[in-house]
Amino acid sequence: MCGTCGCSDTANAVKITDLSTGATQTVREGSILNASRAEQDHHAHDEEHHHHEGDDQPHRHGPGGEIISLETAILQKNDQIAERNRGWFEGRGVLALNLVSSPGAGKTTLLEATIKALENDIKISVIEGDQMTTNDAERIRDAGANAVQINTGAGCHLEADMISDAVKTLDPVAGSVLFIENVGNLVCPAMFDLGERMKIAIISTTEGEDKPLKYPHMFRASELVIINKMDLAPHVDFDEKACLENIKSVNPNADILLLSAKSKDGIDQWLSYLKNQLSS
């Protein structure tokens, strides 16, 4: 559940589709949300039978306290699973990267270009996150990489348990790169560790230069910021200097790459960055 919008819900079915076989499984029943809610219900049951000395009424937390407690339990459980994911990736030498952006920034296009450019050098697999459809996972498969689609329904982000389930299906090979393309959203994914090596934020010149100021939590959480669609910069009145200054004002330590996934300008720097991360 998001602390911001509370999008996760017990009625929200999360489905994982293996693009190599077309098989689909529903995994929401084993979700962090349901497990945490069960713990909270058990705690609430205990509270109903607990009395303070000299108090004839059972002690209950107020609604606000219950919400905060549930949110904390969910995030703690997510972090526990994320650490297991991280250990799994590190133990097999899999470089897991969490790509985050608003919708339409060009994550999938960048992945397509990356897969084609590295097809003879590095094995790549992709976990695609979207609320509905397998469109992006099909694009990834057509580009030449194995892909699994996670459909979150009403959910606006991926969670660590979803990645754990998807990895069992995808089974990335040792020494490979696993891209996790998160649901298009610059708010909620900042809260959820998936076990990745790093978050990579992607913005595009068509979105303007103030995105880092509007969504500072995401840009602080990202080690690399990619400014995509640089080929369109002259046509959309994009202020490159202001964008760079805004990124650095929020996250002075962030690496920044400027490129166009469509025209391939600047793509070599991105590929070199990936290779360096894989060898480190």
AA identity, residue 166: A
pLDDT per position as a tens digit, 210-229: 999 999 999 999 999 999 99
Question: What's the number of domains the chain is made of?
Answer: 1
Say if 41 falls within a structural domain.
no
Residue 106 resides in a domain:
yes
Give residue 280's pLDDT.
Answer: 87
First and final C-alpha spacing in the chain: 34
pLDDT in tens, 141-182: 999 999 999 999 988 999 999 999 999 999 999 999 999 999
SS3 label, residue 248:
helix
Asked whether residue 225 is domain-assigned, the answer is yes
Domain containing 216: what range?
Answer: 15-22+75-279
Are 19 and 7 spatial neighbours (Cβ–Cβ below 8 Å)? no
Q: How far apart are CA 80 and CA 7, in angstroms?
A: 21
Q: CA-CA distances (angstroms) from residue 222 to 92, 109, 123, 165, 272?
A: 23, 20, 24, 24, 18
pLDDT per residue of the chain (280 residues) written in tens, 0 to 9: 455 555 655 446 899 999 988 899 888 544 444 444 445 444 444 444 444 444 544 444 445 556 566 567 778 999 999 999 999 999 999 999 999 999 999 999 999 999 999 999 999 999 999 999 999 999 999 999 999 999 999 889 999 999 999 999 999 999 999 999 999 999 999 999 999 999 999 999 999 999 999 999 999 999 999 999 999 999 999 999 999 999 999 999 999 999 999 999 999 999 999 999 999 8
C-alpha 74: how far from chain center: 16
Q: Is residue 28 part of a domain?
A: no
Q: Which amino acid is at 212?
A: P
CA distance 248 to 256: 9
Residue 58 lies in a domain: no
Does 49 map to a domain? no
CATH number of the domain that 169 lies in?
3.40.50.300
Q: How far apart are CA 58 and CA 46, in angstroms?
A: 10
CA distances from 59 to 68, 69, 195 (A): 17, 16, 38
CB count in 10 Å sphere of residue 223 = 15
What are the tens digits of pLDDT across the range 6-15?
565 544 689 9
Do the Cβ atoms of 172 and 45 come closer than 8 Å? no
Asked if residue 97 belongs to a domain, the reply is: yes
Q: Is residue 113 part of a domain?
A: yes
